[in-house]
């Protein structure tokens, strides 16, 4: 485009110069026609006898082109900071007239997973023996494309996203996510849409800011999923206290959200306090806080939910399970000839984190009560109480570049106990969180969690080796 402007502007200037310059024919008369060679282009009509005049013409052309380009909106990129994710590529932002802004962002996660089993089978609470398989696979594990901004009014904000994965096959559809709301101030935004149900710190922090390859086994077991809902989010006291809370259709928007009976919904909230200043993204201190930073928080969830065996199309949908990995709604899971139809889900968590000079320690503990069982047959228990925790220790020994970490999580309940432990290495490309290579080894013992986006398969015992590259834009 710039070349076209330069060519047109230079040609116009040459035409004006030729039109206004004194005619050589007035001085010496016309030359013989046989000695005249027709100029094919206007530029060839220049005699180039005055370099200063030619330089001035080119300067005027450049100024005209720059003035024209300045009036055309240009995309600009706003990267992540030490305390905030990237705003992305700002495609358009009106400065006058109709209020509108559009920014594009997202991330991609390419992963290789190998799982080596330490046992060949496991038996669930319904009495069924299931195989444990080895796994070796490459996948575009997650891809998210997001558009955000405001429209009509700077306070009317929105975010629309498409989420997909090749773990469910390369023909799988993208899952639509979206939020729109009114931002009253930094203290409060009231919004609605399809979001996570904010029931845990590690779930809220989320991808792509994890320390290791993914979230923990304990978080995957306890936390809800995504669902349509309405919520409030904001920060108070100079952003030292943050919160988000609301009501959603169910603990996930899959079968539990679609097939729910009556008017029962999921109520959830999460709050955290950062008394010494911004804690930053995720659990890692790759930025290297010069002063200590701490964060303490808590969350709670209550829902009367439909008992389901199969999740919806979103791979992050949650199937509630017993502590040995058996789906809660599986026939005979709670006793011979039992079939659960509906129950009450109650979850509470507490968390704490510390960062200083590249070191970081993070902890979260979960308490879950399932009761109010409705169904057929005889239930062995009227309620089920499970609890467990997770912990991370990391050290970014070359600030913003190289990091090592150790991680572990465990949970227990009346149907069994599961553990995981391991660690890995992160390389932050170009000293940025927006490009990260990770390699990790993780051993699981009677894992009760299940999610195809993670290395977790219900009932599995063995070792997972994972390598991934994460790109955030």
Are residues 112 and 64 located together in one domain of the fold?
A: no
d(CA 109, CA 213): 10
Residue 465 belongs to a domain: yes
Side-chain-side CA neighbours of residue 390 (13 Å): 27
Residue 36 belongs to a domain: yes
d(CA 335, CA 343): 15
The answer to whether the beta carbons of residues 462 and 132 sit under 8 Å apart is yes
Are residues 9 and 111 located together in one domain of the fold?
A: no
Residue 30 belongs to a domain: yes
What count of other Cβ atoms lies within 10 Å of the Cβ of residue 185?
A: 9
Which DSSP symbol is given to 174? P
Tell me which of 18, 48, 70 is where a domain ends: 70
Q: Model's pTM, two decimal places?
A: 0.83
Residues of the chain with pLDDT under 70: 1-49, 69-73, 255-257, 311-313
Q: What is the pLDDT of residues 348-383, one digit of tens each?
A: 999 999 999 999 999 999 999 999 999 999 999 999
Start-to-end CA distance of the chain, whole Å, equals 26
Are residues 13 and 115 located together in one domain of the fold?
A: no
Q: What is the pLDDT of residue 61?
A: 81
d(CA 211, CA 125): 34
Residue 252 belongs to a domain: yes
Q: What is the pLDDT of residue 432?
A: 96
Count how many domains the chain has.
2
Are residues 65 and 112 located together in one domain of the fold?
A: no
Q: What is the pLDDT of residues 292-319, one digit of tens each?
A: 999 999 999 999 988 887 766 677 888 8
Tell me which of 20, 43, 70 is where a domain ends: 70
Are residues 44 and 128 located together in one domain of the fold?
A: no
Number of H helices, E strands in the chain: 6, 20
Residue 214 belongs to a domain: yes
What six digits make up the tokens of 68? 């024209």
CA Rg, the chain, in Å?
31
Does the N-terminal peptide bond of residue 336 adopt cis geometry, omega within 30 degrees of 0? Answer: no
Are residues 20 and 127 located together in one domain of the fold?
A: no
Going through 204-321 in order, the beta strands assigned E by DSSP cover: 226-236, 241-248, 266-273, 293-306
Are residues 25 and 116 located together in one domain of the fold?
A: no
The answer to whether the beta carbons of residues 326 and 236 sit under 8 Å apart is no
CATH number of residue 330's parent domain:
2.40.160.10
Q: Is 218 helix (H, G, I), strand (E, B) or coil?
A: helix
Range of the domain at 29: 2-70
Tell me which of 54, 70, 86 is where a domain ends: 70
Residue 89 belongs to a domain: no
């Amino acid at each position: 485009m710039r070349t076209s402007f330069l060519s047109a502007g230079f040609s116009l200037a040459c035409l004006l110069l030729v039109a206004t310059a004194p005619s050589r024919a007035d001085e010496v008369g016309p030359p013989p026609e046989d000695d005249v060679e027709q100029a094919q282009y206007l530029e060839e009509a220049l005699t180039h006898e005055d370099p200063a005049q030619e330089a001035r013409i080119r300067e005027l052309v450049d100024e005209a082109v720059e003035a024209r380009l300045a009036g055309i909106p240009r995309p600009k990129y706003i990267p992540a900071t030490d305390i905030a994710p990237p705003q992305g590529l700002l495609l358009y932002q009106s400065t006058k007239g109709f209020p509108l802004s559009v920014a594009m962002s997202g991330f991609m996660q390419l992963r290789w997973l190998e799982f080596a089993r330490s046992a060949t089978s496991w038996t669930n609470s319904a009495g069924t023996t299931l195989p444990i398989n080895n796994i070796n696979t490459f996948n575009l594990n997650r891809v998210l494309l997001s558009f955000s901004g405001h429209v009509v009014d700077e306070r009317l904000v929105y975010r629309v996203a498409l989420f997909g994965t090749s773990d469910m096959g390369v023909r799988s559809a993208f899952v639509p996510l979206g939020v729109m709301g009114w931002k009253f101030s930094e203290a409060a935004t009231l919004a609605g849409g399809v979001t996570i149900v904010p029931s845990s710190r590690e779930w809220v922090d989320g991808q792509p800011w994890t320390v290791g390859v993914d979230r923990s086994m304990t978080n995957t077991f306890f936390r809800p999923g995504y669902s349509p809902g309405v919520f409030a989010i904001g920060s108070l006291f100079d952003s030292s206290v943050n919160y988000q809370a609301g009501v959603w259709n169910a603990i996930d928007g899959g079968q539990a959200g679609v097939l729910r009976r009556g008017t029962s919904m999921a109520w959830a909230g999460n709050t955290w306090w950062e008394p010494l200043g911004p804690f930053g993204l995720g659990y890692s201190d790759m930025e290297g806080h010069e002063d200590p930073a701490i964060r303490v928080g808590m969350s709670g969830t209550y829902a009367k939910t439909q008992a389901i065996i199969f999740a919806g199309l979103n791979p992050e949908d949650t199937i509630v399970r017993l502590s040995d990995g058996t789906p809660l709604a599986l026939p005979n899971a709670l006793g011979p000839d039992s079939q659960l139809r509906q129950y009450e889900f109650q979850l509470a968590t507490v968390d704490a984190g510390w960062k200083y000079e590249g070191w970081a320690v993070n902890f979260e503990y979960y308490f879950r009560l399932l009761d109010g069982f409705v169904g057929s047959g005889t239930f062995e228990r009227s309620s089920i109480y499970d609890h467990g925790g997770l912990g991370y220790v990391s050290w970014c020994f070359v600030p913003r570049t190289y990091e090592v970490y150790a991680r572990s999580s465990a949970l227990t309940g009346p149907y069994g106990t599961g553990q995981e432990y391991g660690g890995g290495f992160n390389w932050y490309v170009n000293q940025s969180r927006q490009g990260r290579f990770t390699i990790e080894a993780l051993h699981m013992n009677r894992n009760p969690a299940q999610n195809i986006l993670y290395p977790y398969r219900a009932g599995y015992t063995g070792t997972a080796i994972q390598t991934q590259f994460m790109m955030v834009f």
